[in-house]
Structure 1
């Protein structure tokens, strides 16, 4: 049987160098001729996939094609690679594949098969079938360790890829008898609904109450020379000129917001204010450290006040 190497290479070039053993055989290559090319090093075997080396471009696309070719035409690539190929900048090399039956991973690749009823996929030119971004995120959340999943959830909230309402929809869609990862998603949903900015302010208020220090004013307005409000401070001690700002768990600063925050902070410092800023994680995990910094700022404020009135 004559080989049709040109058509096989044309197919491989659309997949960053990936074809299956079956596709090579259908193009006229015998098992022996395939093995010869593998032994020569011009082709590389990866489970049920073959990598044609001179057409191979390592990266998420090539890895996704390798997984899809290995696991078969009914497989769907999920996990971080699927998210990145759809524009979400997330780290990680969790190789996740949706497949109805378990199949061993290709040698050298630590991949995991997820067997779930919802098998939606998206079609993107040049890519194998991919899980939609939100599904790929949920798959990754349920596959990682609890701590890593919490960190990824916080990152997703900060990037506004999802909110508590959308995560709740995912939980409901994946409900049913014996759902994989259902408990993990519910735990993460509880986390997503906590840590709002208003909740962060409540935690900060309790920390200040612990200190027993009078004089704190919430949402204190700073006025410019023309009387307009130029800044509003979450918590302020106007006498000691201490400003406290708090960020909720989903706080995310884009470039414009970042610049505005720095201009605002510089303006307060130039007006003689001591500025402290605390994240949700600090407020919840290190309240004693937060309180110590507030007390240190109060002491500095008193020293400044005495020096000014001396």
Structure 2
């Protein structure tokens, strides 16, 4: 473009400079691949996209983060800046892959790091989402690969937490909020619930699928986090009545309960007490 046109573009707002030495079209700045490419250029080699950024580019929606995360070798002293978080760590060629021309950690390595040092809820939802829809053998292989990456980490901080979250993940949650809800319940001292528990008729027909359940206690936990639930309130009430007729207690959670779970946990403890099976 030439220096003059670049300066004109910056002055008019057509171009923007997210970090020193990098210029992008302002209209593309909201696109993660554009910000990721700009970050790689700004930091310079050797560098790889990592953490939440790598996971998001792998298609993991639970790992959303406006900042771009990169990792450089321990030998490089690169400072983070606004919107660009620089981590130091060891990595090998086999830890990286390239997607659309962008160097990033493989999903196994990215999950291992995120489980150690990412937001706990987002990290658990991310590994649960990565397992979703995988055949059992593929799910087991992903778990094994992530565990191997954890074993190879030079930085041992967060390993215990990472292993706990990895063991708790099932890949059966239908959305990241459902994964977060399961983590909240377990951390509150309740036994791990069975996700996507099916209720069947005598002849084997599937009647309902519960978000989470403790079948031996006949307690169900349903997440009503989407607007669609407003339209099916009557259906949910009727279903709860049918479940009650089958001897089940249904506890319902909403998006607000993820922020403040006190009401939810009180209702759940009450349900456990009624079934003479205390949580802890």
- The answer to whether TM tops 0.5 is yes
> Helix, strand or coil: the match of 2:49?
strand
Q: Does 1:142 align with 2:123?
A: no
> What RMSD, in angstroms, separates the aligned Cα atoms of the two structures?
4.9
1:10-32 Cα distance to aligned partner (Å, 9 max, x none)? xxxxxxxxxxxxxxxxxxx67x9
> In structure 2, which of residues 265, 268, 276 is the aligned counterpart of residue 290 of structure 1?
268
Residue 129 of structure 1 and its aligned partner are, at CA, apart by 1.1
Cα distance in 1, alignment partners of residues 46 and 169 from structure 2: 40
Cα distance in 2, alignment partners of residues 55 and 290 from structure 1: 47
> Helix, strand or coil: the match of 1:130?
strand
Counterpart residue number, 1:170? 146
Bigger radius of gyration among the two: 1
Aligned positions, number: 223
1:210-230 Cα distance to aligned partner (Å, 9 max, x none)? xxxxxxxxx99852xxxx244
Counterpart residue number, 1:121? 96
Counterpart residue number, 1:53? 25
Residue 135 of structure 1 and its aligned partner are, at CA, apart by 1.9
Counterpart residue number, 2:176? none
Counterpart residue number, 2:106? 132
Q: Does 1:72 align with 2:50?
A: no
Cα distance in 1, alignment partners of residues 39 and 274 from structure 2: 56
CA contact (8 A) 2:109 2:149 kept: no
* 186 and 170 in structure 1: CA distance in 2 versus 1, 3 angstrom threshold: farther
Counterpart residue number, 2:211? none
Residue 174 of structure 1 and its aligned partner are, at CA, apart by 4.3
CA contact (8 A) 1:68 1:76 kept: yes
Structure 1 gap ranges (5+): 6-28, 205-218, 237-242, 248-258, 299-310
TM-score, normalised to structure 1, is 0.52
Q: Does 1:152 align with 2:123?
A: yes
Q: How does 1:245-284 map to 2 (within 5 A)?
A: 245=220, 266=239, 269=242, 272-273=245-246, 275-277=248-250
Residue 183 of structure 1 and its aligned partner are, at CA, apart by 3.7
Counterpart residue number, 1:88? 60
> In structure 2, which of residues 47, 60, 77 is the aligned counterpart of residue 102 of structure 1?
77
Cα distance in 2, alignment partners of residues 220 and 54 from structure 1: 52
CA contact (8 A) 2:19 2:42 kept: yes
Cα distance in 1, alignment partners of residues 86 and 120 from structure 2: 16
Structure 2 gap ranges (5+): 173-185, 192-197, 208-213, 223-231
Cα distance in 2, alignment partners of residues 229 and 43 from structure 1: 62
